[in-house]
């Protein structure tokens, strides 16, 4: 692969690492917890009023759970950076890791929404628990085992939750829920892109595309292939030989959505925790400049990418 192409992938990787490192550093210097004056800490102090069989402080649980999902998203960002540094930029695995980043970041973004009351935050958290318990129960049942713990925890959540919400019990393979249904990651990605960039439909489309690549679906994988090496004869059905095409411009265009959603989630995380965002904000600005410049670049006939590097430094 041409050196300029390798450099372009490395620029993308470096900016992602800088964002992930900034969040990790902020978490470390703050002892991996909220500052006392933060929105999350303020919520936690009054969380005991909602105590019950489901938890002694469900608001604290909700904030800790959202932080865990945010940490998973941050780790996926670092993982995507590592894949982008692989020979040829990772190709297929790039999109698989990016899907994990998009899904976890969108979920954490939703759980950390700032303008909701504590009861709604608890409802969202409990629906995540109910979904998790159901998935765990299906795993146990698949091995011919009883899921006594899962059944017991689900009952405690529903028994306490019915004091505050309407609820639906487990039906067939679908999890029980409190109030509105747990939104899909695809919907959340679309909602986040609409809020962050005014792009309705973009999050959904990219999520579907990344899911297709991650699951090895032909229509998605074929998008990574160039023109057939020999003209296709329509009277001779079968497979035609085509070469995989992978360049930094295509990657930047397709993965800009996961990067935007990840940045939006990270911004909410800093706000909720009350951490100083200065270092992270500078890293985020550099990331946006670099990825936007690459997404707008045009590969030449040899596949080389010319980027206005002054915009990426």
185-203 confidence digits (pLDDT tens): 999 999 999 999 999 999 9
Report residue 40's pLDDT band, with 50, 70 and 90 as the boundaries: very high
pTM for the whole structure: 0.89
Average of per-residue pLDDT across 34-43: 95
Report residue 309's pLDDT band, with 50, 70 and 90 as the boundaries: very low
Examine the pLDDT at 25 and tell me if it is beyond 70. yes
Both structure tokens of 48:
């005991």
Examine the pLDDT at 4 and tell me if it is beyond 80. no
Of 106, 119, 127, 130, the C-alpha closest to 43 is 119
Examine the pLDDT at 312 and tell me if it is beyond 60. no
Average of per-residue pLDDT across 123-151: 96
């Amino acid at each position: 692969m041409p050196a300029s192409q390798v450099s372009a992938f490395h620029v993308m990787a470096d900016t992602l690492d800088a964002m992930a490192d900034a969040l990790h550093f902020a978490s470390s210097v703050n002892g991996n917890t909220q500052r006392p004056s933060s929105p999350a800490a303020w919520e936690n102090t009054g969380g005991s009023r909602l105590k019950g069989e489901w938890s002694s402080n469900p608001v604290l649980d909700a904030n800790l759970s959202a932080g865990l999902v945010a940490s998973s998203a941050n780790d996926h960002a670092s993982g995507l950076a590592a894949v982008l540094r692989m020979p040829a930029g990772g190709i297929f695995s790039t999109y698989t890791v990016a899907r994990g980043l998009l899904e976890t970041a969108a979920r954490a973004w939703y759980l950390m929404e700032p303008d909701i009351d504590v009861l709604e935050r608890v409802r969202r958290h409990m629906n995540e628990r109910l979904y998790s318990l159901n998935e765990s129960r299906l795993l146990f049942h698949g091995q011919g085992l009883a899921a006594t713990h899962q059944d017991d925890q689900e009952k405690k959540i529903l028994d306490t939750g019915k004091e505050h919400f309407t609820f639906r019990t487990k039906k067939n393979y679908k999890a029980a829920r409190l109030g509105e249904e747990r939104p899909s990651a695809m919907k959340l990605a679309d909602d986040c892109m609409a809020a962050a960039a005014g792009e309705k439909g973009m999050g959904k489309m990219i999520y579907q595309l990344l899911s297709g690549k991650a699951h090895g679906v032909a229509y998605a994988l074929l998008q990574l292939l160039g023109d057939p090496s020999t003209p296709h004869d329509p009277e001779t059905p079968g497979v035609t030989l085509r070469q995989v095409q992978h360049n930094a411009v295509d990657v930047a265009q397709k993965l800009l959505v996961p990067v935007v959603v990840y940045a939006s989630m990270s911004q909410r995380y800093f706000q909720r925790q009350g951490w100083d965002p200065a270092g992270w904000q500078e890293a985020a600005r550099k990331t946006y400049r670099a990825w936007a410049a690459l997404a707008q670049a045009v590969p030449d006939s040899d596949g080389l990418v010319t980027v206005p590097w002054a915009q990426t430094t």
